[in-house]
Structure 1
Amino acid sequence: MSSGNLITGANYLVSGAQLITKPKFRLFIIVPILVNIAIFIVLTSVMFNYFSDVVDAMVGAIPDWSWLEGFKSTIAWIISVLSAFIAIVLYGYSFSVITNILAAPFYGFLAERVEEHITGNTPPSESIVSMTVRTVGRELVKLWYFISRGFLVFIAAFILGFIPLAQFFLPVLLFLWAAWSMAIQYSDYCADNNQIGFTQFREGLAEKRFSAWGFGSLVFIGSTIPLVNIFVLPAAVAGGTILWIKEQPTSRLA
C-alpha cells in the first residue's frame, strides 16, 4: 500500500485555501478568523517579550562545575536550539490549540460542508449542542495525545543533542513531529464528524504518512508566521478534510 506523497500532501492545503474562498464557506470561517486575530495579538506579544529572557536565564543556570567546562558551550548550544524550536512549536501549536478549542464547532461545520462539497454526502446529522460537545471533547483527546507523545519526543531530542552527528538530525525529528501533529489536528475533523475513533483515525492516517507530513509541514510553517497564521487554520481544516477523503478507503467514511 502506498504511503502517500509529500507534494500531494502539501497541495491539499493549497486546495483547502482555494476552496474556502467560495461564498458558501465564508460563514464558517468569519468567527474563527476573528478568534484567530485576538489570540494572535496575545500570543505574539508574549513570545516577543519573554523568549530571549528565558533562554538567557536557562543558559546562565548552567553550573560552573569544573568537569562541565568542556561541555558548557555544547550544552548552551543545545539549550538555544531546543528553546528556539520549542518556542516556535509552542507558538504555532498554542495558537492552533487555543483557536481549535474555541472554534471547534465552527471547524466541525466547515469540515462537514467541505465533505458535502467534495463527495455529495454529509456525515450523520446531529444537533448543534451535540456537535459542540463532541468536537470540544475530541480536542481534549487530541491535546492529551500531543502532550504525552510530545514529551517523549522532546526527551529523545534532548538525548540526541549529546550524540555527535546525531545532533544534526535533532531539528528534523522535531519538525517531523510538529508536521505529524498538524496533520492529525486538521484532518481529524472529517474523521470525527463521521464518528471514527481517534485511534482508528491515527492508524489510517499513518498509512499515508508522507501525505500527512507534506500537508502538516506546510500547515506548521504557516501557523508560525505572524498574520499568515490567522488565515491558514481555516484553510488547514478544509485541506485536512480533503486529505482524509482523498487518501482513505471509502470504507473508512462509511
Structure 2
Amino acid sequence: MNSIGQPIRRGVGGFADGIKYFLQGVAWVARHPRQWLFGLVPALIALVLYVVALVLLGGYAGDIAAWATPFADDWGPALRDTLRFLLGIAVFALGLVLSVVTFTAATLAIGEPFYEKLSERVEDDMGGVEKAADVPLWRSIIRSVRDSLITLGYVLMFTVPLFILGFVPVIGQTVVPVLGAAVSGFFLTVELTALAMERRGLGRRQRFAALRADRSPALGFGVLVFLVFLIPFGAVVAMPAAVAGATIMVRTRLPAGPASSPPGR
C-alpha cells in the first residue's frame, strides 16, 4: 500500500518493467507524431538556454578556477596554471553533469502546459482518469517549480559528492558511474512521473513514497532515460516519449482513484 492507501502493482519484472514503460512511451509518440512535435517545443527552448549557459560557463571557467584558488597566486607559473586549468575543466565537467540531471526539471517547468496536455492525451488514449485532481494552471506551475527546486536540492546532495569521488582511481571509474546513473535515474523518474501522480492527487512527499516503495521499476525507467539523455540532443528528442512513458508507468502501477488528501500537502 502507498501513503494514500492505494495499492501499488508490483510486477515480477522489476527493473525490466521500468525499461518497458519507456519503450511503450516511445511507441506511443511514434503512433502520435503530432504529440511528439508538440512536446519538442519546450525541450528546444530549454536546450537553447542550457547551451548558452554552458558556453558562458566554458568562457568563465578559468576565472572561476582563479577565484577559487587565491592560495596559488604565489606559486610558480607552471604549477599555478596547471592547477587552474585542471580545476577549470572540472568546473565545466560538473556543469555538464548538472545540466543532464537538471534538464528534465527545467524543461518540465518551462513546458508545464505542453507536457500536462501530452500526459492527459496519453491518459485519454488509455481510457481516461476518474476523479482527476482539478488544479488551476498557475498554481500547478508554481508548485512544479517549487517541487523541482526541492528535488534539485536532493540531486545536488548526491551528485556533487559522487562527482568528486569520480576522481578517485578505480572507484571513480567503476562504482561511481553506476551509482551516479542510479541516483540520476531515480530523480528523473520523480520529475517525469509528477504530472500523472499530481493528476491522482499525490503531493511531493506522497510521490517520493510511492516511488521508493516501487523502486526497481522507477530505477529501470529512470536509468534508461538518463542514458538516452546523455546522447547529444537525446534529451530533446526523447523528452515527449519520457513523459508518455512515465504516464503509462503511473497508470499501470498506481491505479487511478480518490486521494485522501489534496496535492501539495
Which TM bucket (shorter chain)? Answer: 0.7 to 0.9
> Partners in 1 of 2:50 and 2:87 — Cα distance?
25
Deviates more, 1:200-209 or 1:5-14: 5-14
- 1:94, distance to aligned residue in structure 2 (A): 4.1
Aligned residue number for residue 153 of structure 1? 158
Aligned residue number for residue 8 of structure 1? 17
Aligned residue number for residue 177 of structure 1? 183
- CA 1:173 to 1:79, structure 2 compared with 1: closer, same or farther past 3 Å? farther
Name the aligned partner's letter for residue 109 of structure 2. Answer: I
Structure 1 residue runs of 5 or longer lacking an equivalent are 67-72
Aligned residue number for residue 118 of structure 2? 110
- CA 1:252 to 1:83, structure 2 compared with 1: closer, same or farther past 3 Å? farther
> Partners in 2 of 1:39 and 1:159 — Cα distance?
27
Tell me the TM-score normalised to structure 1 length. 0.75
> Partners in 2 of 1:131 and 1:164 — Cα distance?
51
* 2:151 corresponds to 1:143: no
> Partners in 2 of 1:112 and 1:46 — Cα distance?
32
Deviation track 1:110-141 (CA, whole Å, cap 9, x = no partner) reads: 222212322x23243677xx441243133123
Q: Quick check: which one's helix share is greater? A: 1
> Partners in 2 of 1:177 and 1:198 — Cα distance?
18
| Alignment check: 8 A CA contact 2:19 2:224 kept | yes
Equivalent positions of 1:209-248 (< 5 A) are 209-248=215-254
> Partners in 2 of 1:158 and 1:231 — Cα distance?
26
Q: CA RMSD in A?
A: 3.7
Question: Which of these residues, 129, 142, 167, is aligned with residue 122 of structure 1?
Answer: 129
Name the aligned partner's letter for residue 157 of structure 2. Answer: L
- 1:74, distance to aligned residue in structure 2 (A): 11
Structure 2 residue runs of 5 or longer lacking an equivalent are 1-9, 76-81, 260-265
- CA 1:245 to 1:41, structure 2 compared with 1: closer, same or farther past 3 Å? same
Deviation track 1:214-239 (CA, whole Å, cap 9, x = no partner) reads: 21122223334333322211111110
Question: Which of these residues, 95, 106, 121, is aligned with residue 98 of structure 1?
Answer: 106
* 2:164 corresponds to 1:190: no
> Partners in 2 of 1:2 and 1:79 — Cα distance?
46
Deviation track 1:157-183 (CA, whole Å, cap 9, x = no partner) reads: 367468775444333333222111111
Question: Which of these residues, 47, 52, 63, is aligned with residue 40 of structure 1?
Answer: 47
> Partners in 2 of 1:158 and 1:165 — Cα distance?
14
- CA 1:78 to 1:41, structure 2 compared with 1: closer, same or farther past 3 Å? closer
- CA 1:56 to 1:7, structure 2 compared with 1: closer, same or farther past 3 Å? farther
